[in-house]
Amino acid sequence: MVNKITVVGAGNVGATAAQRIAEKELARTVVMVDVADGIPQGKGLDQWESAPIELFDSRVVGTTGYEETAGSDIVVITAGIARKPGMSRDDLLNTNAGIVKSVAEQVAKTSPNAILIIVSNPLDVMCYVAMKASGFPRERVIGMAGVLDTARYRSFLAMELDVSVRDIQAMVLGGHGDTMVPLISYTTVSGIPITQLMSKGKLDPIVDRARNGGAEIVKYLKTGSAYYAPSSGAVQMVEAIVRDQKRILPCSAWLQGEYGMKDVYLGVPIKLGRKGMEQIIEVSLTADERAALEKSAQAVREPMAVVKL
């Protein structure tokens, strides 16, 4: 347990993440910040009132300012507008960039030693914005990308094979968008290569569904986007840091030569511990996977080049 974790944004993703952080007792105090007066205070109070039933002692508070967030160990940034049907993650670019820039600047003043976990979309570019605005080193600005994408991929495989999700090991790299790269060569079921259990004809549609997992939910909801799985992904990262678990998870990281790429945020396997990103792990890729990863990096570089900082 750490002393304080802040979640910026009290919408569906932020509020769900705050509740899960509290229920896991990852911090003594969980602070929710939002510009909409009354929303974070009301949701925070509601969550705290669930404590006697769910049996957690993490105090949840809501606020519209950053004074109560001072000294946070971890800050999860979910603030920004959500996607609507027909919108890509990149359509959110400059609106959310302005929001994330302001948040990162505030956090840098009040919690200069915090680790930032970015959830706002378009995710990889928002990581870049947060790193530049905060001035934090890359080890302390990490994006929740592949954790969610991998969870979707694993869930679809479990449905198709009718097996437990616990037995499916997989990893999705690349940008958090339509160019993400599920690694078929590293996908196994209890160590059995997925290609021994499923034909290419069945596997390819699952890979495509994973790539479009967020858009599928947006289409169903019509007025919002996914939040249960995204909040779970963010909290898995928070828990790995708080408990110094040294988890190997696919997250968006600032590459400085790894995978032959430089100055770009991209989803890659990293080791997460109490200091944040402790190591970027380079795995061998097939020629097709490497080509797909480079294509994904280019898809991130293009909006990075035009984002207004």
pLDDT tens for each residue of 152-167: 999 999 999 999 999 9
Q: Summarize pLDDT for 110-133 with one digit per residue, the tens.
A: 999 999 999 999 999 999 999 999
Structure tokens of 309? 């900082």
Cβ contacts of 137 within 8 Å, gap of 6 or more: none
- Domains of the chain (ranges plus CATH)? 2-143 (3.40.50.720), 146-306 (3.90.110.10)
Q: Angle between the 287-306 and 123-134 helix axes, to the nearest 10 degrees?
A: 50
Among 20, 89, 154, 176, the one annotated catalytic: 176
* Long-range interactions of 48-55: CB distance < 8 A, separation 24+: 48/22, 50/19, 51/22, 54/23
Structure tokens of 5? 């974790």
pLDDT exceeds 80 at position 93: yes
Q: What is the pLDDT of residue 207?
A: 94
pLDDT exceeds 70 at position 89: no
Q: Summarize pLDDT for 224-281 with one digit per residue, the tens.
A: 899 999 999 999 999 999 999 999 999 999 999 999 999 999 999 999 999 999 999 9
d(CA 4, CA 240): 15
* pTM for the structure as a whole: 0.95
176 given a catalytic annotation: yes
Which element (helix H / strand E) includes 7? strand 2-8
Cβ contacts of 294 within 8 Å, gap of 6 or more: 261
